[in-house]
Structures are given as structure tokens and as C-alpha cells.
Amino acid sequence: MQQALSILQDTFGYPSFRSPQGEVIDTLVNGGDALLLMSTGGGKSLCYQIPAMIRPGCGIVISPLIALMHDQVAALRQLGIKANFLNSTLSSDEIERIETDLRLGNLDLLYIAPERLIQSRTLELLKTASLSLFAIDEAHCVSQWGHDFRVDYLALNLLHEAFPSVPRIALTATADARTRQEIIENLALKNAKAFVVGFDRPNIQYRITLKTNPRNQLLQFLKKEHPSDAGIVYCLSRKKTEDTAAFLQEQGFNALAYHAGLPTEIRAENQRRFLSEEDVIIVATIAFGMGIDKPDVRFVAHLDLPKTIEAYYQETGRAGRDGNPATAWMVYGFQDVTKLRQMLDGTQGDEQYKRVEQIKLNAMLGFCELTTCRREALLAYFDESAPEHCGNCDTCLYPVETWDGTEAAQKALSVIYRTGQRFGVSHLVDVLLGKSSDKVLQFDHDQLPVFGIGQERSTQSWQSVFRQLVAAGHAVADPERFGGLALTEKCRPLLKGQSRIQFRKDPVQRNNKRLSKTPLPDDIDVGIWEALRAHRRALAESQGVPPYVIFNDRTLQTMVEEMPDSLDAFSQLPGVGARKLEKYGKGFLQVLHQTQS
């Protein structure tokens, strides 16, 4: 472990390990297997990078995305680590050169996609080399119940059979109890030591509100809180990503679309710009983001409801990896639930899969309708306890009012039953309000005893009642009937008056306190900060790497705060190892000196 600590300090520039990094590294160095669940930005990569440098041979990292490979290899090379990747972007000559380096022991780390690794040619190549370990990144992709399932991951159990003496580590930031068990079983990690680190991301402020005019709501959020920040906006459809990106461009934002249907070169260019520029907004489907290592994403916005809480946690976790304040902002509506149910019904999964996914979708809707602390509920979903009030989510900052909705719920459930459990919310509300619409008259629903019994409430109020009944599991949107609502067994006591229910009052839109464009202390010298950023940007552009690969924002902020005046003092900054001290120290010291002149 002394050697591991020396590498941490001299190469990576950090004084000490976070818990349980040291224990994970010790496990792998001594030849043991490990399963590591650690929140995004917690330092998972160090847990396999350092053992790969200590143990003889090359560490093989199984990574699902080409962009992630490029990003991590670029960062490692900045530190003087011998790293490379094998993927489809390389020429045959480049592949041959890298394979030769692997055989000759000239690499510390080699990144490979799972679909390439399981090919017989790659396995034969690996058998000719000395291997220090296997690191299976984004290991939740092995779960068939997960939100990022990839069939190639299921074949990775062959590593246990083909290379029994090479230690393995599976890493992920997102896995509930069921997914963890699947990782263990499908990757043959039953004897692995499990490390589960807290899922809490206290720097992220969680905010969720109802859709009214989603495009305008997003615009106001960006203008007031993140006018020049990098961020991600998630949409459910490809068309919506393109339309939203175009709208934001018209409003003066540096916004780009990203989805699987775009040409490969456009996707690659948009992702490159997002990583290398400092104010780009990517508007994307969930095809974007896994493994993105950009630390200064200041917000993640959802214009549609994610399918599961795991997906929501994974996607929002791409904000604030540097530990500075960030926002997870979302608007949602019942139409999202209907659309997701229809998408689920159209999948190839069996009935058991669909039932599990429906439970997860209901949990996601229930999370949106919470009246208690969102962070507490989010962590509880991953079996982690938390204080009742985090002080950094909308329900803590603006406590939600509730009302006794028992009578309203009984009326709503009755109209679902009386109309045959096959109509959507809009029609049900028309019946309750006594509106003689064409559809109401067509089905003679104006003759029902429930016609007009809900005129004391508004259309919006009844929509809220139906939405919360679905969230609480008293009704379900049936995709076979185009989102028509049907009753569940759970509603029986409520309908018979044997239980009561509290509903949340839909909150009034508020102007939330704006987060700083660059989350800096109030007393910091912004002139010096911007000069350092400009120098970093110039270095990054000259090398074709993202700025944070040179130094992240936290290192720059510490430069401004401590104003080192020598290479020795500069070497004490976080993230400054020996290679970066030699490569960049004099240049940054010169910038600091010039700003004081």
C-alpha cells in the first residue's frame, strides 16, 4: 500500500485515499476480485488504475463507449501513464502496433469494448500477454432488468473461465439490490469482496415540477440559473431533441442535438464539442452520457419522465462531478406515463419483464409526487438511510402543502369504474365536470350517476388527482387501451371508505435562487480565475483534449486561493502530480505572476 500511496501522490497528485479506495486497491493488488458501487465522481477509476500500475502486466478495462475510452486514455497520458485503446476508430496498422505493445509489456492499461473483447481473436491476443487485472466498467449493463442493458456484457463471465488467475473488478455508480445480485451471478463474482459506498451527491439540488409549457419552463430555468453553463437536457424522442436544440439555439444558447439516429460523424463532433468547450448544452436521448467524464456539467434537465429511478439517478449524476453546486431539474406530466407505458408494451420483453418495468415506472412517478425530502427517498431506493430533510431539494426548500383527498379520490375512482375502465384522463375529467363533449355524448356518459359530480374542482385539480392516484398505485394506465385508466386491487379500501389519502397541492412556480455561473467563493479574484481558464483552454486546444484533462476547476480554484509562487508550492495543489508539474507548472506560475503585476 505504500507503493499505491506513492503513485497516488506522485502521479495523480492527491495526498490520501478516500474510503474505501485503499481497501479496494489492496484487494486487487493481492489477487482478489471486487465489486465496487460508488457514486459518480467518487474516484472509481483509481481503484483499478493504481493496481494495474503495481501488478505485473497490463490492466484490461472493459468500457462500453468509444468516447469514454478516448477521454480516459487522454487523461492518463497527461499523467505519463502508458495507456491505449482498441476500437473501431483505429486503422489496421494502429491496431497491430497496439497489439505488439501489449505483447511486449509496454502498456499499463488497455481499454476494450465488450463486443470486441469476447471475439476469439481478442481472447487469443490476451492469452499471449501478461495481464494484471480486468476492470469491468459500467457493470450494471449486465443486468437484464437495468436501464442500460447490453447483451455483450452477459458473455463477460468467460473471463473467469479463460483467465482464472487474473483478478477482476466490476464497477458501477447505479445498482439496486436486484441489479447487484445479477452483476455477481452473471459475471461469476460470488467470491468477490463487495464495496458499497454512499450514493448521496449532496452538491446536486433536485427539483421536479409539473409540465405547463415545458419549452418555456426550460428557457426560464436556463436564463435565470445557467445562462452560460455546460449541461445536458434529456428528451424522450429523437425529434424532440432536435426541435429543442434548435429552439435553444434561436434563444442564443450553444445547444447541440445528440441521438442514435444522427450520422456517426455528427454525433462524434457534437460530443467532442461538449467535452472540449465550456458552455455547450447537449440535448439528447438516453443514448448520450454513460461514461462521460466531464466534471463541470452544471445542470441536467429532463423534459420527459425517465423510465426508472435508476435511470434518473444515473442521468442526474452526470452533473457536478467536480463536487461544485449543480442542479437536477425536471418537468413531468401524466402524458409521460402514458407514453412510457406504450413504449414498454411495444418491447420484446416477456410479461415478467414488463411487470417489473411497470413497478419501476410507478416508483418513478411516485418519486415525482413526493411531499417529503427527495434525497431521502432517492437514497432509500438504493437501501441507504439519510436525514429526513437534506435542505437541498425542492420539497425541503419549499415544503409541499397537502390536503385530504379522500372524497375526491372516491369520485375519481368511481368515474373510472362507471365508464368501463378504458378511458383516459381528459375524458374522465369531462364526465366529472359535467361537460357534454362529443365523446361523452357518444358513449352516453352524460347519463351516468357520476356525470357532473366533480364541479367543485378545476380541470387542473382533477388531473392532479388522477395523476396522484396512479402514482400511489390505486389506478394504472393501460397501454392496450391507449392510456385508459383501470382500477387496481389497492383502491378497494379507499373506494369503500375504509382508508383515507392525502394529496399534495401542486406547487406554484417560484423563481429559485440562481446558482453562480462559475461556483466560486464570493471573495475570489475573478480576473485571475479567468486568466487561468484562458491559459488552460489554450493548452487544451493545442493538444486536442478537453480543458479538464489539463486541470479541473477545483485545481484552478485552489491556485487562485493559494497563489503558489514556486514549483514546490505548485506541486502541493490537488491534482498536480510529477508529470503535470513538469509539463504545466511554469506556465501557470507565469500566469499567476502576470495577473499580480
CB atoms within 10 A of CB 219: 15
| Helices 459-471, 406-418: inter-axial angle, 10-degree rounding | 90
Q: Dihedral through CA 372, CA 378, CA 380, CA 386, nearest 10?
A: -70
Residues in the chain: 597
- Residue labelled with grid coordinates 479538464: 548
Q: What is the 3-state secondary structure (H, E, C) of 457-497?
A: CCHHHHHHHHHHHHHCCCEEEEHHHCCEEEECHHHHHHHCC
Burial of 366 (0-12, 13-18, 19+ CB in 10 A): middle
Q: What angle do CA 404, 407, 411 make, to 5 degrees?
A: 140
The residues, ordered by sequence, that sit 6+ positions from 385 with a Cβ below 8 Å of its Cβ are 379
Give the pLDDT confidence score for residue 516 in this predicted structure: 39
Strand partners, 209: 331
- Residue labelled with grid coordinates 465522481: 41
2-196 and 204-397: identical CATH topology? yes
Q: What is the pTM of this model?
A: 0.71
Half-sphere exposure of 229 (CA within 13 A, CB side): 29
C-alpha span between 570 and 150 (Å, rounded): 44
Greatest extent of the chain over all pairs of C-alpha atoms, in Å: 87
Strand partners, 134: 60, 168
Q: Where are the domains of the chain?
A: 2-196, 204-397, 411-490, 526-596
| Among the listed residues 524, 409, 542, the one whose alpha carbon sits nearest the alpha carbon of residue 475 | 409
Cell of 551: 486541470
Indicate the SS3 state at residue 10.
helix
Burial of 522 (0-12, 13-18, 19+ CB in 10 A): exposed
CB atoms within 10 A of CB 423: 23
Q: Please list the pLDDT of the chain residue by residue as tens digits (597 residues).
A: 899 999 999 999 889 998 899 999 999 999 999 999 988 777 889 999 999 999 999 999 998 877 778 888 988 999 999 999 998 888 999 999 999 999 999 999 999 989 899 899 999 999 999 999 999 998 888 876 555 678 888 889 899 999 999 999 999 887 777 788 889 999 999 999 999 887 889 999 999 998 989 999 999 999 999 999 999 999 999 999 999 999 999 999 999 999 988 998 898 889 889 988 889 999 998 767 655 778 899 999 999 999 888 889 989 989 998 889 999 999 998 788 878 877 877 777 777 777 777 778 888 888 888 888 999 888 888 878 777 789 999 989 988 888 899 999 999 999 999 999 989 888 999 999 999 999 999 999 999 999 999 999 999 889 889 988 887 778 887 655 556 888 989 899 998 899 999 888 876 544 444 443 445 566 678 788 888 988 998 998 888 888 888 998 889 888 988 899 899 999 999 889 999 999 999 999 998 888 776
Q: Which long-range contacts (CB under 8 A, 24 or more apart) does 341-350 make?
A: 341/477, 341/478, 341/479, 341/483, 342/479, 342/482, 342/483, 344/307, 344/479, 345/479, 345/480
| Among the listed residues 124, 162, 135, 150, the one whose alpha carbon sits nearest the alpha carbon of residue 76 | 135
- Residue labelled with grid coordinates 476494450: 112
C-beta separation of 434 from 455 below 8 A = yes
Which of the following CATH numbers is that of domain 204-397: 3.20.20.120, 3.40.640.10, 3.20.20.300, 3.40.50.300?
3.40.50.300
Q: Which fold, 411-490? A: Arc Repressor Mutant, subunit A (1.10.10)
Cell of 302: 429532463
Amino acid at 402: T
Burial of 128 (0-12, 13-18, 19+ CB in 10 A): exposed
Strand partners, 477: 485
Amino acid at 370: L
Q: What is the CATH number assigned to the segment(s) 526-596?
A: 1.10.150.80
Burial of 347 (0-12, 13-18, 19+ CB in 10 A): exposed
Cell of 383: 437501501
Give the pLDDT confidence score for residue 57 in this predicted structure: 96
Cell of 395: 420539497
| Among the listed residues 121, 77, 81, 129, the one whose alpha carbon sits nearest the alpha carbon of residue 102 | 129
CB atoms within 10 A of CB 121: 8
Which of the following CATH numbers is that of domain 2-196: 3.40.50.300, 1.20.1370.20, 3.10.180.10, 3.90.226.10?
3.40.50.300
Cell of 148: 442500460
